[in-house]
Amino acid sequence: MQVSSMQQYINNKVFRAISEVAGQINRPTYAIGGFVRDIFLGRVSTDIDIVVQGSGIELAQLVAKKLGVKRVNVFKRFGTAQLKVGDWEVEFVGARKESYSSDSRKPIVEDGTIEDDQRRRDFTMNALGISLHPHTLGQLIDPFNGVDDISNRIIRTPLDPNQTFSDDPLRMMRAIRFATQLRFDIEANTYRALSVNKERLKIISVERITDELNKIILSKKPSIGFMLLEETGLLEQFFPEFVALKGVDKVKKHNHKDNFYHTLQVLDNVAEKSDDLWLRWAAVLHDIAKPVTKKYVKGQGWTFHAHEFVGKKMVPGIFRKLKLPLNEKMRYVQKLVQLHLRPIILSSDDVTDSAVRRLLFDAGDHIDDLMILCEADITSKNDAKVKRYLANFKLVRKKLIEIEEKDAVRNFQPPISGEIIMQVFGIAPSKPVGSIKDSIKEAILDGKISNDFHEAYDLMLQLGNAQGLKPQKSKEFILNQANLQVSSDSSNKE
């Protein structure tokens, strides 16, 4: 791309206003970083970083005035200010020079030149600037040949990589994240420095590391990032449980598959089907307990008994350590880890309605996600085997639809509540209430009765009778009351 052609990218009212102000205060001013990189990648970015040799806050305020933008978000402590113009977010900062000491990630920051500012950037491709000062408008500054690196698809640090990475070790995560997102190669020296400086990652906050990890997981082919993280020793620093999946044990002629590569294959497969971060996390963690449950059993070979239950139990510890949310997202991941073998069991046996009903009941609204995970989990090299499994899954899916249409157990609430049981028999909350309620649920899931109020009511009477309980209220009374409840509920809403 010709340098002169850069003007077309800054020919709009925001850049024109910045340029006018830059001329008035006569300060070197540049659009810099990701926005400029993305022009060369043919991507449109709405996050724009502006660097001025002077005060970023003052420039932001003058530009806001010119554009009639009322709100300027000022971060005094960082010397930055931000404006929103339409869907653009423009951040202004004064050019700075940073020097680091080895025991802290907090640099000593001083005012600096644009060149100083470019030297403290992470990669050559992220150190490009386009001048906005009227005298040099549109000129590209590229002191580290970032444009060449972009066209050769190479990630390289502007300075000695050991310095760049040691100064701010998060840049190591960013190197691998960009390599995964953009499918760029990491230049050899830069790559070597990742291993050399891996332990420096310890000074970085877990939130920032996990942020980058999530961006890797959300990439089109996340395995690229995980392999680089593992090869460089970075993964071991913050996620040793995942590294533990690696390796193959052998007893005589018997070995098991390498669960590290298997898991990455599953993750890539899921990534082809879904952009959901948490479904992808379920893929990451589905076999996480295989290393701790692994056992060689004579006559059987390698077993990973109950790894789905142990895995479910390991999820909160991992989420806590990685500062992932300990909320319903975590419980969703736990559920998928716990259930990830169920559909395959269904497909290898004769599929009974009752087994399908139970799976629907346990998975609830997550049944489709669970099926995506389970299909992704079939990574055998044996094509015939894969075909057979996938065909079986087709059957399971068909059955799931049939049963759901017939019995609607997906978000099934048993038709007889504990409240009703207590009213009918005139008893207080107690063990019989729970046991009657459970038996009704089991009878429905087993297909002994349908998911229907009247059938469930009759069963309740039988079960009560067996425990010596006598009905104190008639069915009509209960139904009337339920109707009253429904009509008063709906009148509340009006």
CA–CA separation, 132 and 16 (whole Å): 8
- Least CB distance to Mg ion at residue 370 (A): 35
User: Is 169 an interacting residue with respect to ligand ATP (CB under 6 A)?
Assistant: no
Question: Which does residue 168 touch among Mg ion, ligand ATP, none (CB within 5 to 8 A, set by kind)?
Answer: ligand ATP
Q: Which residue has the tokens 């050991």?
A: 162
CA–CA separation, 398 and 382 (whole Å): 25
Copy the structure tokens of residue 252.
Answer: 């005589």
Q: Can you tell me whether residue 242 is helix, strand or coil?
A: helix
CA–CA separation, 14 and 358 (whole Å): 59
Which residues form the interface with Mg ion (CB under 5 A)? 34, 47
Q: Which of 19, 126, 131, 232 forms a contact with ligand ATP (CB under 6 A)? A: 126
Stretch that binds ligand ATP, among 50-58, 163-171, 237-245, 247-255 (CB under 6 A): 163-171
Question: Which does residue 142 touch among ligand ATP, Mg ion, none (CB within 5 to 8 A, set by kind)?
Answer: none
Residue type, 407: D
Phi-psi map region of 323: left, alpha, beta (phi>0 left; psi -120 to 50 alpha):
left
User: Is 119 an interacting residue with respect to ligand ATP (CB under 6 A)?
Assistant: no
Q: Which residue has the tokens 């019989």?
A: 432
Residues 36-55 within binding reach of ligand ATP (CB under 6 A): 47, 49
Q: Residues 262-281 vs ligand ATP: string with x where CB under 6 A? A: --------------------
User: Is 160 an interacting residue with respect to ligand ATP (CB under 6 A)?
Assistant: no
- Closer by beta carbon to ligand ATP, 121 or else 399: 121
- Least CB distance to ligand ATP at residue 373 (A): 28
Edge to edge, the sheet with strand 29-32 lists 73-75, 80-85, 88-94, 47-52, 29-32, 129-131, 140-141
Stretch that binds ligand ATP, among 62-70, 121-129, 225-233, 260-268 (CB under 6 A): 121-129
Instruction: Name every residue whose Cβ is closer than 8 Å to that of residue 357 and which is 6 or more positions away in sequence.
Output: 403, 407, 409, 444, 445, 446, 447
Instruction: Tell me the residue number closest to ligand ATP, measured at CB.
Output: 34
User: Is 121 an interacting residue with respect to ligand ATP (CB under 6 A)?
Assistant: yes
Helical (H) or strand (E) element with 29: strand 29-32
User: Is 233 an interacting residue with respect to ligand ATP (CB under 6 A)?
Assistant: no
Structural contact between residues 396 and 351, judged by C-beta atoms closer than 8 angstroms: yes
User: Is 415 an interacting residue with respect to ligand ATP (CB under 6 A)?
Assistant: no
User: Is 110 an interacting residue with respect to ligand ATP (CB under 6 A)?
Assistant: no
Question: Which does residue 122 touch among ligand ATP, Mg ion, none (CB within 5 to 8 A, set by kind)?
Answer: ligand ATP
Residues forming the site for ligand ATP (CB under 6 A): 33-34, 47, 49, 121-122, 126, 168, 170-171
